[in-house]
Every structure is written in C-alpha cells, then in structure tokens.
Amino acid sequence: MDVRLFIIALFSISFANLTFSQDTIIKIDNSIIIAKILEINESNVKYKKLSYMDGPTYTLSKDKIYKIVYPNGAVEVYTTDDIKLQRDNINNKIEKDRQKAIALEVAKKKQAIKQEIAQEYHIVDRKGVYFGFYTSLGIGGLVLKDNNGFHTYNYKLIVSNQESGISSDFGINLKIYTNSFFGFKTGLTFLNYTYKNTYDIDYFRDEYQESYNIEYHIRNWGIPIQILFSLGGKLAFNIDFGFLIGKPYKATYNIEAHNSNGEFEEIENINFKNNLNNIIIHESIQAGVQYSISEKFFIILGINQIYSLTSYTSSYNTKGKLFAFNISLNFKLDKNKL
C-alpha cells in the first residue's frame, strides 16, 4: 500500500473520530462550549476544551448549564423551572438592553436635529427648572373705592385726598418651563405698600372741623401662582400672569391731626394689622424683555402690576394696587441634583 494513502486514511479516521466525539455544552445564557467531558458529578461538570485537549481541566456548575448534547445525539437537560426562568430573564434583559440602545440612539438623533434647528432659527431651549430673585419698585397703595363718606346727624367724614406712595415687591421665584415657550411660576414674595390719605371731619352743630393726614405702611407676604410665556430666542418677550395669595404681617400708620382751632398733634407707628383681613387675593401680571446670557442664566427687565381682587378691610371696599418696574435674575437648576 502506498504510504501516503495510508497516512491520509489514518488522519481522516482520527479527525472523524475527534469530530464525532465532541460534546456540546449549552449554558443558560445561550453561550456554547465545544468540549470533551471528563466527569459529571452531582453539582459540577469537568471538561477540556476540544480545541486544546492538552490544556487545563475546567469545572462548570450544573446550575449554569441548560443542556449537554453528546456525540451520539443524546441530549441531557439540566435546567429546572427556576433556571428556565433565569434564562428567560436573561433573554428579556438582552432584548430590553437592545431596545434601550435603539431608543438612546433615536433620542440622540432627535437632540441633534433640535440643536440644528435651534442654531438656525436662534431658538433657546428653556425646558427645565429655574430658581431666581426679583425686585420691583414703583407707585402703589390702598385705594378706597366707595368714597361716599360717612354721615350722621352730628358730623360728616370723607376722604378728601388719596396719594400713592413709593411701594415695592421683591422675593424669590421658582419657574418650571415644560418647553421653550410655556411654563409655571411660584415662589415667595414680599409686597410693601406706602400711601397717604386725608380725612376731613365736619361737626355740624359745633361748626368745628378736623383734618387728619395719615401715612400708611402695609407689608404682605404671599405665594404667586402664575402661568408664564416666553416668545422668541435669545432675546424674547416674556409675560407672567396669575394670582398672588397674600397675608398682611405688619401694618402701621402715622397721623398728623389739625383742627379749626389751630391745634396740631402728631402720632407715629400706630398698629392696625388687626383691622385687616387675614387673606388677600391679588391678580398679578408681569411683562418684559427676557435676555438669555447663557443656557443656564437669563435676566428679565419689565413692568409689574398687582391689584387686589379682595378688600383689605371688611368695613370699606379698599383695594391694593402696585405699578412698578421689575428686574429678575434666573438660574437653571441641574436636574441631576434635584
């Protein structure tokens, strides 16, 4: 026999024997090991890798094995219901991770498109939560709406003059933009009224007159509940409107009293907080120009108007009002720190 044919035949028989003697281990995570199994005990399987029979002996726990396929086609399944559930969970996790990766890629593409549009049309992405400070300074006070005077058989009292004074509004705010144009606003505000009234009293029988010049100082704290709009890009028109629910916490007045006999008296810091209603509801509107200095900071310059919907006193229809110039500084909060 030709020696070469003998060697080829011997090699073919050895290769065929090696091929058909391989064991296939399929793990519960779907990975496959081509091996030669050496030993199977109660808890482990010992094997050598078919590709490296002279290499080390490996030990694999049975609870990680789904099944073993032997060279003769026999199949030995090791999985239990718990392991099947574990295998299904792994497959489900793989699928969820794949779907998450796809969603993340789609979100990145959407964000890239938004950024391109924003750059082209100068749109500012305002979506987020902002913390800010503001202050307003202007003219305000309380106005007696029904000034018909008070009459008896003996005297008549009437408010002959009402003067607004320098009043202010300041505080902190929290703005939540749901997108680049629309949002909500709340916070804590302090509203200060300073104004003057003149009361004239005419005593009919005694032909005697008195005049009182009274300067009032009323301080309120309150919570704004407002809707806000910002229309434009880096330079935008801004408007906030809604309600301010307030409560007076300090109220004093100073009196200058005169009478027809030439007598004069001055009294200061008279407390009249107890004469005011506990809760005052105002309507509030702010309008101005908003300038975004950066993605995380913008400033607003504008005007602020506040008018009370409910009366400050139960005895008279007395409404508060304020018209002022306003400045507001707003800082975007890091959502990862919220």
- 130 and 114 co-located in one domain: no
Q: How far apart are CA 282 and CA 211, in angstroms?
A: 32
Q: How confident is the model at residue 305 (pLDDT cuts 50, 70, 90)?
A: very high
Residues 111, 205 within the same domain: no
- Bridge partners, residue 49, by sequence: 35
0.75 surpassed by pTM: no
Q: What's the mean per-residue pLDDT of the chain?
A: 82
Most confident of 30-34, 64-68, 189-193, 269-273: 189-193
* Beta-carbon count within 10 A of 318 CB: 19
pLDDT given for residue 286 in this prediction:
93
Report the CATH number that the domain containing residue 276 is assigned in CATH.
Answer: 2.40.160.20
Q: Which domain holds residue 302?
A: 126-337
| pLDDT exceeds 70 at position 115 | no
Same domain, 37 and 62: yes
State mean pLDDT over 285-290: 94
CA proximity to 79, closest of 63, 97, 95, 94: 63
Q: How far apart are CA 224 and CA 188, in angstroms?
A: 7
pLDDT at residue 299, rounded to an integer = 94
- pLDDT tens-digit series, residues 129-148: 999 999 999 999 888 765 55
Of 109, 113, 25, nearest to 69 by C-alpha is 25
Q: Among candidates 134, 170, 186, which has minimal Cα distance to 322?
A: 170
The H or E element that residue 39 is part of is strand 32-40
Q: What are the percentages of helix, strand and coil residues in the chain, rounded to 5?
A: 20, 60, 20
Do 155 and 259 lie in a common domain? yes
**What is the CATH classification number for the domain harbouring 21?**
2.30.30
Residue 14 has pLDDT above 50, yes or no: no
**H or E, element range at 198:** strand 182-203
Claim to verify: residue 311 and residue 261 sit in the same structural domain: yes
Residue 203: beta bridge partners? Answer: 155, 208
As beta bridge partners, residue 75 has 69
Q: Are residues 117 and 130 in the same domain?
A: no
Instruction: Indicate whether 325 and 299 sit together in one domain.
Output: yes
328/171 Cα distance (integer angstroms): 10
Q: How high is the pLDDT of residue 13?
A: 46
The residue among 303 and 209 whose pLDDT is bigger is: 303
Model pLDDT for residues 24-41, shown as the tens digit of each residue: 888 877 888 999 989 988
Most confident of the following: 32-46, 106-120, 171-185, 264-278: 171-185
Q: What are phi and psi of 51, to 5 degrees?
A: -75, -10
CB of 329 closer than 8 Å to CB of 301: no
The radius of gyration computed from the CA coordinates of the chain, to the nearest angstrom, equals 42
Same domain, 239 and 287: yes
Q: Do 318 and 147 contact (CB within 8 A), yes or no?
A: no
DSSP 80-142: -HHHHHHHHHHHHHHHHHHHHHHHHHHHHHHHHHHHHHHHHHT-----EEEEEEEEEEEEEEE
Tokens (6 digits) for 155: 């005297």
- 183 burial (CB, 10 Å; 0-12 / 13-18 / 19+) is buried
Domain co-membership, 99 together with 237: no
Given a cut of 80, whether residue 12 has pLDDT beyond it is no
**Spatial separation of the C-alpha atoms in residues 329 and 223, rounded to whole Å:** 18
Number of separate domains in the chain: 3
Same domain as 307, residue 241: yes
Q: What's the confidence (pLDDT) of residue 257? A: 84
Residues 133 and 103 in one domain: no
Distance in angstroms (rounded) separating the CA atoms of residues 278 and 274: 9
Do 108 and 46 sit in the same domain of this protein? no
